[in-house]
Amino acid sequence: MAVIRKFVDGLHNGFQIPESSAEIIKKTITGIRQSTESLRVAAFITLLHQFSTISNMQPLATNNSEQIISDVEGIRMDQIFQYLVTNYKNHISLAEISGIASLTPQAFCRYFKKHTDKTFVSFLNEVRVNEACKMIVSGKFDSFSDVSYQTGFDNVTNFNRVFKKSIGKSPREYQKDFFEKIL
């Protein structure tokens, strides 16, 4: 278990599995899903062992500095995230969200950027686009303008612009590509 422990301890930014190891990892993960009880635990340990023996693994994030967040900061960030996830459908002003964090708007912007490497608006837009993607693939909407308003965007034009910037295609193209892939 020492090799696995060393691997887990060194895991800070995630990793990309090399193409040469992808098939065996895929089979092991499938084995985990199909196993039951203690055999599932054994299969998971096998997966960790396989990860620990891959020599040319690339990190997902290039930021090698480990960021340690204090308990107070963790609680504050959790409150911010919970508020955003609960209220993304509504207009959220900077004053409102900074009040949740007990910071001034300017201090909140610096604090949020420091802890997420994103601006508040870009993060909120990511949450909204993610929810829009879920709605689009579910097919439970009347129109794309309906998706736009239900995910908190003020107008369809802004929704289309932000969606395309984030996903790389328009909402209609995203829907078309998704359904072509599953058919």
For the question of whether the overall pTM of this predicted structure is more than 0.85, the answer is no
Share of the chain above pLDDT 90, in %: 63
Q: What is the structure's pLDDT at 68? A: 56
Q: What is the pLDDT of residues 125-182, one digit of tens each?
A: 999 999 999 999 998 999 999 999 999 999 999 999 999 999 999 999 999 999 888 7
The residue among 11 and 43 whose pLDDT is bigger is: 43
Cα angle 93, 94, 95; round to 5: 90
